[in-house]
């Protein structure tokens, strides 16, 4: 299916299912005209906020209405008020929409809103990173607003989520589910890296953050912390392949290998130690960075 036909399928599918549609925006690699595995679609609607259950149901209904196409279709539904608030808050995903967005349904009001956001980003000195994340200017070792939310809140949210993953990993290890334990250990190290990056005003999406983290360590002034931060980068890099390998079967030679066949007690135990070490380091660094020691 060519791009034009696919876009028309998306537009028709959304309008068939969603009521009071203000706009439909494509964003991401497909919207940029790059090779893509999926099509990211944001739908802006009028009306009150939807519950999580209602949004799930609406998303499923839209995908059904679009029907089978060559690429996976990912749909996000925002109310008009929530969309405006998210842009004002510089929520990174919506900054992607502002910069990549291709409006396929809607009036000029939506275009003006995206243009206003791009201008505000330029004035604030917010920059897109080479890896597709966002860098916000921050004051050295001080809480700095990135939006209505400051860098300390971002860092601690990542840390809190990493703590939950560690509890899950330890529980799974105790129940001999070693592959699933490794999955959550990988999440711990990734989120610890993202927590530290948030201190610096850098917000990233990718699972693969170790390499860019090393560059960031060199860029920052973190006296006495360099060896521990590089250890965190090493732990994150060691576990990065598990982001996929611990979750999905793979083909090795002529046989299918399940994640449970890749990871046994020793591998899971080593991953658990790396996760515990990463979390302790990130907690200490965040306290130091915000001068809370």
Residue-wise pLDDT tens digits, 115-130: 999 999 999 999 999 9
The pLDDT, as a whole number, for residue 49 is: 67
Which of the four CATH numbers 3.30.460.10, 3.90.1150.10, 3.90.420.10, 3.40.630.10 does domain 3-124 have? 3.30.460.10
Per DSSP bridges, beta strands 202-203 and 134-135 are: antiparallel
CATH code given to domain 151-289? 1.20.120.330
The pLDDT, as a whole number, for residue 293 is: 63
151-289 shares the fold of 3-124: no
Q: Where are the domains of the chain?
A: 3-124, 151-289
**Residues 21, 11: contact at Cβ < 8 Å?**
no
**Residues 43, 59: contact at Cβ < 8 Å?**
no
Chain-centroid distance of CA 64 in Å reads 25
The C-alpha atoms of residue 160 and residue 169 are separated, in whole angstroms, by 14
**Among 120, 100, 103, residue whose Cα is nearest residue 111:** 103
The pLDDT, as a whole number, for residue 71 is: 82
The C-alpha atoms of residue 264 and residue 266 are separated, in whole angstroms, by 6
- Token reading at 256: 């299918």
pLDDT along the chain (293 residues), means of 10: 88 91 94 88 84 82 86 89 91 94 91 95 94 95 91 97 98 98 98 98 93 97 98 98 95 92 96 98 98 81
The pLDDT, as a whole number, for residue 126 is: 96
The pLDDT, as a whole number, for residue 54 is: 81
The pLDDT, as a whole number, for residue 253 is: 87
The pLDDT, as a whole number, for residue 72 is: 86
* Residue 178 backbone phi and psi in degrees, to 5: -70, -35
Q: Which helix (H) or strand (E) holds 195?
A: helix 178-199
Residue-wise pLDDT tens digits, 84-108: 999 988 899 999 999 999 999 997 7
End-to-end CA gap in the chain: 58
């Amino acid at each position: 299916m060519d791009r034009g036909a696919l876009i028309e399928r998306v537009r028709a599918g959304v309008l068939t299912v969603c009521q009071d549609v203000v706009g439909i925006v494509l964003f991401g690699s497909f919207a940029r005209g790059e090779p893509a595995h999926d099509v990211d679609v944001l739908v802006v609607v009028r009306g009150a906020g939807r519950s999580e259950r209602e949004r799930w149901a609406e998303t499923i209904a839209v995908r059904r209405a679009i029907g089978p196409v060559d690429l996976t279709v990912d749909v996000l539904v925002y109310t008009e008020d929530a969309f405006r608030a998210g842009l004002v808050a510089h929520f990174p995903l919506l900054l992607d929409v502002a910069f990549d967005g291709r409006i396929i349904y809607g009036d000029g009001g939506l275009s003006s809103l995206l243009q206003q956001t791009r201008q505000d980003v330029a004035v604030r000195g917010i920059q897109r990173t080479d890896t597709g994340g966002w860098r916000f200017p921050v004051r050295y070792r001080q809480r700095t607003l990135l939006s209505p939310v400051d860098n300390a809140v971002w860092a601690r949210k990542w840390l809190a989520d990493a703590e939950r993953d560690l509890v899950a990993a330890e529980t799974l290890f105790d129940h001999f589910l070693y592959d699933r334990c490794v999955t959550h250990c990988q999440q711990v190290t990734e989120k610890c890296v993202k927590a530290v990056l948030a201190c610096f005003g850098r917000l990233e999406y990718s699972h693969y953050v170790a390499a860019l983290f090393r560059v960031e360590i060199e860029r920052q002034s973190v006296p006495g912390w360099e060896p521990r931060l590089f250890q965190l980068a090493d732990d994150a890099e060691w576990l990065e392949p598990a982001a996929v390998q611990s979750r999905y079967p793979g083909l090795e030679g002529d046989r299918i290998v399940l994640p449970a066949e890749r990871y046994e007690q020793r591998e899971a135990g080593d991953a658990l130690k790396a996760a515990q070490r990463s979390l302790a380091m990130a907690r200490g660094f965040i306290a130091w960075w915000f001068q809370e020691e």
